[in-house]
């Protein structure tokens, strides 16, 4: 695209470039992304289901 370098890019174009940059980073760092998402999932489960609720009633001596 040939445009005047003095004019700012359109908002959609900037968002598209940002999306491409984020996607490239995620692909390059997949292991980190999966580990972080896994930890967040465990935290979410732990906050919604305390350890006491995972213990069957008959096991409480």
Mapped to the 3 state alphabet, what secondary structure does 29-42 carry? CHHHHHHHHHHHHH
Give me the pLDDT at residue 48, please: 82
The per-residue pLDDT for 5 is 66
Mean pLDDT, 10 residues at a time, over the chain (61 residues)?
A: 65 85 93 95 85 65 56
Model pLDDT, residue 50: 72
> Tell me, what's the pLDDT at 37?
95
pTM above threshold 0.75: no
Burial call 24-59: b when 16+ CB within 10 Å, e when fewer: eeeeeeeeeeeeeeeeeeeeeeeeeeeeeeeeeeee
């Amino acid at each position: 695209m040939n445009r005047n370098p003095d004019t700012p890019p359109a908002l959609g174009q900037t968002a598209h470039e940002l999306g491409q940059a984020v996607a490239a980073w995620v692909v390059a760092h997949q292991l980190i992304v999966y580990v972080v998402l896994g930890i967040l999932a465990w935290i979410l489960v732990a906050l919604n289901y305390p350890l006491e609720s995972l213990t069957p009633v008959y096991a409480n001596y």
